[in-house]
Amino acid sequence: MNPIKTFPKGGVHPEENKLSSDQPIITFEIPKQVIIPLGQCLGAPAEPIVAKGDKVKVGQLIATAKGFISANVHSSVSGTVNKIDEVMDHTGYRKPAIFIDVEGDEWLEGIDTSDTLVKDITLTKEEIVERIKQHGIVGLGGATFPTYVKLMIPQGKKAEYVIINAAECEPYLTCDNRLLIEKPYEFLVGVKVIMKAVDAPKGVVGIEVNKIEAAKKLDEIVKSDKYFEGIEIQPLKTKYPQGGEKQIIKSITGREVPSGKLPIETGCVVVNVASTFAIYEAVQKNKPLVYRVVTVTGKSVKKPSNFLTRIGTPANLLIEAAGGLPEDTANLINGGPMMGKSVSVTTFPTIKGTSGILMLNEKDAQPRKVSNCIRCGKCMQACPMGLEPYLLNRLARQNNFEETEKHNIMDCIECGSCEFTCPANIPLADYIRYGKTRTGQIIRSRNQK
Ligand code: SF4
Ligand code: SF4
């Protein structure tokens, strides 16, 4: 394997806590009812095209994308639409969703549900991008940005590298690691599909060295099978946020994405592991995005697990299957501890972006006593974007958005490294996120004038 690489600026080393990394993926039983939220991507919620009483099959389109940065939504089960109503989702707000009562498990005609590996990529690059769009594939690392948009290379630009973000640098999460170990061929064909879609000669899988079993397995396959020529496995140092888009590009290519620009400026397209697997299934098996692997974990959880879960499965069922909600749970998180968001109900439906359900115990979730900034500069050293978090925090609190913009708040990737490292326990990321949202609004309204 290649020598280990990393990004040079900032980063932190939180406890890894990969409690479920040895737990094979378990196909979770189909629930009696799924609740499929219409808003499952970064952009506008999809528009329902079914109504109460309609019969649906697995993989059937039930809501269509509304706008450029929006994604189609498909039924993850077969059965009858019970209602279209609001549900308290992972954001803690009531949002529209399609409730489907499950009857059997009948898939839409034309979807290949077999385990046969399909290596021949017969679709043209335009057809691949269109299939990925139609089948509702979004960034499954949590960002939920529609993947087809990433694969539309602007005129005058060239994709040299497809970089697969297999860092899985968030503590606790192991869903990507398990997919790589258990479905390496499907995953690697997915990489070839993306390379064809964007016409890139090279594919690089960037993987942290704490996932050595997966890295070795992938390396053996790409070196022993000519079909995978052009793909290499790049071990990366275990350092958070190694999986940040800009960080992984820097680690692998040494190139820097300029402030306010997209990865394609550096000739790179970055896709997450689970999305790559979903792309394989969409393009080679004609299967829309109807399930994903979800890590259900926590130090007090009896059976930390990785479940292959139909989209819309209520989280409480997964929690039960992992041994139930531990009594000392102080914080329930959708995602990992660094970038995930706290959830107020256990019944929220899992969505495409649900990579993990984390139950942090009282000891780990205990709020730490906040004191005044001691100007130690540790937050600056930890910031992978070279920002001044103590300053951005102060400016955001003062609602001084002219200055937050001047100090590049829009470059913040919301990784939380500054907050993690702050000895005064100042909730830096919260204020900076607020400042970024407000500054972004001001910039957008200025650009519209
Ligand atoms: S949250 Fe933003 S400011 Fe803080 S370390 Fe990450 S990128 Fe830097
Ligand atoms: S790490 Fe905390 S205490 Fe140190 S300079 Fe930054 S905000 Fe201040």
| Pair (156, 264) in one structural domain | yes
The strand pairing partners of 101, in sequence order, are: 33, 80
> Do 135 and 175 lie in a common domain?
yes
Residue 343's domain spans which residues? 25-111+304-364
Length of the chain: 449
Q: Which of 38, 108, 46 is nearest to 77 (CA)?
A: 108
Q: Is residue 49 part of a domain?
A: yes
Pocket test for ligand 1, best of 240, 418, 426 (most atoms within 8 A of CB): 418
* pLDDT tier for residue 220 given thresholds of 50, 70 and 90: very high
Residues 68, 96: one domain?
yes
Q: Output the residue whose Cα is nearest ligand 1's atom 2.
A: 412
Report CA(422)–ligand 1 centroid distance (Å): 12
Ligand closest to Cα of 411 equals 1
Q: Which of 285, 319, 354 is the last residue of a domain?
A: 285
pLDDT exceeds 90 at position 141? no
Reported as a single tens digit per residue, the pLDDT across 3-48 is: 999 999 999 999 999 999 999 999 999 999 999 999 988 788 999 9
Mean pLDDT of 118-131: 97
Does residue 124 lie within any of the structural domains?
A: no
One domain for residues 254 and 192: yes
Per-residue pLDDT at 192 exceeds 90: yes
* Domain identity same for 164 and 274: yes
Q: In angstroms, rounded to a whole number, what is the distance separating the alpha carbons of residues 284 and 135?
A: 12
Of the pLDDT bands very low, low, confident and very high (cuts 50, 70, 90), residue 91 is confident
Query: Closest-lying ligand to the alpha carbon of 429?
Result: 1
Asked whether residue 439 is assigned to any structural domain, the reply reads: yes
The residue whose C-alpha atom lies closest to atom 3 belonging to ligand 2 is: 373
Q: Do residue 242 and residue 151 come from a single domain?
A: yes
- Between the alpha carbon of residue 49 and those of residues 21, 68, 279, the distances in Å are 39, 18, 24
Q: List all residues whose CB is within 6 A of at least one atom of ligand 2.
A: 373-379, 390, 422-424, 426, 428
- Strands 341-342 vs 329-334: parallel, antiparallel or unpaired: antiparallel
Give the pLDDT of residue 144: 87
Confidence at 366, pLDDT banded by 50, 70, 90:
confident
Atom of ligand 1 nearest to the CA of 411: 7
Closest residue to atom 2 of ligand 2, CA basis: 422
How far away, in angstroms, is 375 Cα from ligand 2 center?
5
Closest atom of ligand 2 to CA, residue 382: 1
Atom 7, ligand 1: which residue's CA is nearest? 412
Cα of 390 from ligand 2 centre, angstroms = 6
DSSP 8-state class, residue 106: P
Q: Whose CA is nearest to atom 8 of ligand 1?
A: 383
**Does residue 201 sit in the same domain as residue 247?**
yes
Residue 67 has pLDDT above 90, yes or no: no
pLDDT score of 367 more than 80: no
Distance 100 CA to ligand 1 centre (A): 40
Q: Among the residues of 296-388, which ranges form H helices?
A: 315-321, 362-365, 378-382
- pLDDT for res 157: 95
Report if residue 16 sits inside a domain: no
Return the bridge partners of 74, or none: 61
Beta bridge partners of residue 287, listed in sequence order:
none
The answer to whether residue 330 sits within a structural domain is: yes
What is the position in ligand 1's atom list of the atom closest to the CA of 379? Answer: 5
Ligand 1 pocket: which of 394, 420, 432 to mutate (most atoms <8 Å of CB)? 432
Verify that 326 and 384 share a domain, yes or no.
no
* Total number of domains constituting the chain: 3
Q: How many CB atoms lie within 10 A of CB 438?
A: 16
User: What ligand 2 atom has the least distance to the C-alpha of 377?
Assistant: 5
> Which residues' Cβ are closer than 6 Å to ligand 1?
382-383, 385, 387, 389, 412-418, 428-429, 432
Burial of 323 (0-12, 13-18, 19+ CB in 10 A): middle
Among 250, 285, 320, give the residue marking a domain's end: 285
The more confidently predicted of residues 413 and 141 is 413
Q: What are phi and psi of 217, to 5 degrees?
A: -60, -45
Q: Counting atoms of ligand 1 from 1, which one is nearest the CA of 429?
A: 1
Q: Are residues 319 and 271 in the same domain?
A: no
Ligand 1: residue whose CA is nearest its atom 3: 389
Domain final residue pick, 285, 314, 343? 285
Asked whether residue 298 is assigned to any structural domain, the reply reads no
**46 vs 23, 183, 400, CA distance in Å?**
34, 30, 35
**Rama region for 21: left / alpha / beta (φ>0; ψ in -120 to 50; rest):** alpha
- Would 270 be classed as within a structural domain? yes
For ligand 2, what atom is nearest to the CA of residue 375?
A: 5
296, part of any domain: no
Residues 322 and 420 in one domain: no
Backbone angles phi, psi at 275, to 5 degrees: -65, -40
Please check whether residues 157 and 194 belong to one and the same domain.
yes
Q: How confident is the model at residue 219 (pLDDT cuts 50, 70, 90)?
A: very high
The band of 173, judged by pLDDT with boundaries at 50, 70 and 90, is very high
Distances (CA, A) of 116 to 185, 195, 220, 281, 363: 11, 22, 21, 11, 46
pLDDT of residue 314: 97
Closest to 77 (Cα-Cα) out of 143, 31, 24: 31
Do residue 174 and residue 310 come from a single domain? no
81 near 15, Cβ under 8 Å?
Answer: no
Q: Whose CA is nearest to atom 5 of ligand 1?
A: 383
Q: Is the pLDDT of residue 1 over 90?
A: no
- Ligand 2 probe mutation, 371, 378, 419, most atoms within 8 A of CB: 378
C-beta contacts of 75-78 below 8 A and 24+ residues apart: 75/36, 75/100, 75/290, 76/34, 76/36, 76/290, 76/291, 76/310, 76/311, 76/312, 76/313, 77/30, 77/34, 77/102, 77/105, 77/310, 77/312, 78/102, 78/103, 78/104, 78/105, 78/106, 78/107
Query: Distance from the CA of 417 to the center of ligand 2, in angstroms?
Result: 12
Phi, psi of 74, deg, nearest 5: -115, 155
Q: What is the mean pLDDT of the chain?
A: 95
Ligand 1 centroid–CA 429 distance in Å is 7
| CATH for 274 | 3.40.50.11540
The average pLDDT across 246-256 equals 97
Cα end-to-end span (Å), the chain: 52
* 384 CA → ligand 1 middle, Å: 7
